[in-house]
A and B are shown apart, each in its own frame.
Chain A
Amino acid sequence: NAGVTQTPKFQVLKTGQSMTLQCAQDMNHNSMYWYRQDPGMGLRLIYYSASEGTTDKGEVPNGYNVSRLNKREFSLRLESAAPSQTSVYFCASTGLQGEFFGPGTRLTVL
């Protein structure tokens, strides 16, 4: 059981570039989430997917899109990166004991 995995671990982008953050879980969980965490702050919910085929906006969805490709995978896309999107991004999935978080992707936008 790998739990929740995220790729890449680190990424540097230039303003205006696009990229997709990948997330996968092998725990057969229905719900998956994307969060961002800025320095010294708590996590903020970007988007979530309650089940395969559904996605909904969280607290800070602007500038992002998501795809729930199948039950295992939930990707986050930045179409045109901005310096304000410099952050650490965490993916999570929900089980009976709560949410399981991935190790995070540290993204810097120059």
Chain B
Amino acid sequence: DAKTTQPNSMESNEEEPVHLPCNHSTISGTDYIHWYRQLPSQGPEYVIHGLTSNVNNRMASLAIAEDRKSSTLILHRATLRDAAVYYCILRAPYNQGGKLIFGQGTELSVKP
């Protein structure tokens, strides 16, 4: 499974946008880019995923570089409830036996 590199921690102010980077230079052509987050004392929660094009949903946006070697999770207006560890994960398609392999993630803290 291809690896990802994320900063260990980031800090943001409440109601400001947050850009969480992820490098994945060894990504293969069929790997999807998944983002999960884990709030304190909870299980991980799906945030967003994409393959080549940028993606938007009610939680966040995912910007994928043209060469797919990096991506950025964008929280448009951080709230205190967004403080969590964010994991960027590469995953082969489900029908190819793709599994989530978690790295260390980025711990996001949000200041009021």
Contact = CB atoms under 8 A, between A and B. Distances in A.
Interface of A: 31, 33, 35, 41-45, 48, 50, 58-59, 90, 92, 94, 97-104
Interface of B: 34, 36, 42-46, 49, 85, 87, 94, 97, 99-105
B1 to A, nearest CB: 10
Contacts, number: 46
Contacts of B104: 41-42
Given A42-B87, A42-B103, A50-B97, A90 B34 contact: no
A102 B38 CA distance: 12
Given A31-B94, A42-B104, A58 B43 contact: no
A101 B44 contact: yes
Contacts of B44: 43, 90, 92, 99, 101
B52 to A, nearest CB: 18
